[in-house]
Amino acid sequence: MAPAEVIILDMVFIDGELGMVKLTADGVLEAIEYGEPSRYWTVKKDVLGFVVEGKEIRIKTVVEREEGICCREFGGDYSRKDFIFEPFSEDARNRFCFKLHQYLDSLGRPKRLLVFVNPFGGKKSAKQIFEKEVKRLFEDADIHLDVQETKYQLHAKEMVRSMDVSKYDGIVCVSGDGVLVEVVNGLLQRADWKTVFKLPIGIIPAGTGNGMIKSLLDPVGLQCCANSATISIIRGHTRSLDVATISQGTTKFFSVLMLAWGLVADIDIESEKFRWMGSARIDFYAIQRIICLRQYNGRVLFLPAPGFESYGQPASYSLYKETPVRDKNLGYQGPDTKFEDLEWREIKGPFVSVWLHNVPWGAENNLVAPAAKFSDGFLDLIVLKNCPKLALLSLMTQISEGTHVQSPYVEYLKVKAFALEPGALVGEPDKEGIIDADGEVLARGRRSYKCEQIALMSYDKLQITVDQGLATLFSPEY
């Protein structure tokens, strides 16, 4: 293979000694120092940006750590290490800056970002994480930030639903998964959703769950921390993500993470009373709920993905169809599905838990759906029915590794459409459960936790369809 074309090659001073710098057309920056091994940087991967300081040029680079440091210590997979050199003349300095700037521009990196910081999520550390680590990395990459601090639940949704987002190259959520879900729902409710929903969305973990960013970073061996997430956004690589439309009559909710009913929903929502414990609240309350195990009557129906047709029993069902919408101001109305002639299947209760997942990780330590893909057009369904308590305790400890789906008590399959008919608690017909979508209450049944609070939907039949690859996320390069 022929060597790459040299864009620029100049004599410079490096640490006061004579040397050379070279930039090639394939984006390799080389520092040549006499008597020393050459140093190399791949601009796409290693260079955040550069700045002129008097006669010198400072190249702002990142290097991979040999051993990562926990993100809550403000470390991560990368550390900053600059390269400084002095060209012989002002013309040489200007020429080098022009060529490097031109190459960086060609990478398609974001230049202006709308950033939402949620100061209330998790251990309320989002502001600290943003100020001490995230902000300075974006500044080093010369990315302009418009920072908005959310004041209350659904604040981000309200803002993106009405504000001018055309001037941004992406939206970043410094939060758990909650603000991401708000941004998705806000954008899809706009009349111009087809245009604005092309904006990539980035996630920087600063909440309790962080399932989406864990799912993005883990496959390439990166830690679920602000450092790695921020650098992935700076590099500008993106990937598609399926969006699920949850419908009940004319009411809709757009989900990107999960839906849960039964044990998992009860743990997720009812454990909020222990939110001061951070992510440990989930494990703590899970033990309580397993000891006092609930089972729910009900039925799930689904269109199986290819290869999963043997699950459940044949069923008669057709998706609810609305009257065609002609008012363009109503926003996205869900995917245009044609499932009338396909064979539905059903599984009847009682159920311990029903879990529907769009991505592999439900939280940083929960590999809920190990076979889930970001943009395959399917959702992963995990059904748990009869299970002894001791076996259930053991099964719950296996979720961190994803081996729970191998249990004989678990049915794990992929579906392209889904319907839930939730029922009452076994033995207590006047007590119902909670339906949880993306970590928030979608519906509250009679005598359930905080049942007096109004939810988006009623505790009744709902259906879910998938729009393949509708959303775009900032992502590491796979």
Residue 418 φ/ψ, nearest 5 degrees: -155, 145
- Neighbour count for residue 341 (Cβ, 10 Å): 6
- Torsion-angle region of 263 (φ positive above 0: left; ψ -120 to 50: alpha; else: beta): alpha
Length of the chain: 478
- Pick from 207, 210, 226: which is nearest to 123 by CA? 207
Buried-exposed string 161-186: b where 16+ CB fall within 10 A, e elsewhere: bebebeebbbbbbbbbbbbbbbbbbb
Instruction: Give how far the C-alpha of residue 33 lies from the chain's centroid of Cα atoms, to the nearest Å.
Output: 43
With H, G, I as helix, E, B as strand and everything else as coil, classify residue 200.
Answer: coil
How many other CB atoms sit within 10 Å of the CB of residue 275?
14
Q: What are phi and psi of 74, to 5 degrees?
A: 60, 45
For tokens 């339906």, the residue is 435
* Cα(406)–Cα(404) distance, integer angstroms: 5
Tokens 């065609």 label which residue?
A: 324
Q: How far is CA 146 from CA 151, 195, 466, in A?
A: 16, 20, 32
Q: What is the Cα–Cα distance from 396 to 388, expressed in whole angstroms? A: 12
Phi then psi dihedrals of residue 196, to 5 deg: -70, -25
On whether the CB atoms of residues 425 and 249 are closer than 8 A, the answer is no
Residues paired with 261 in a beta bridge:
354, 435
Catalytic residue among 10, 46, 140, 177: 177
Output phi, psi for 346, to 5 deg: -140, 150
Q: Catalytic annotation on 105?
A: no
CB atoms within 10 A of CB 120: 17
Distance CA 180, CA 186 (A): 10
In the structure encoding, which two tokens stand for residue 1, read together?
């293979």
Residues with catalytic function: 177
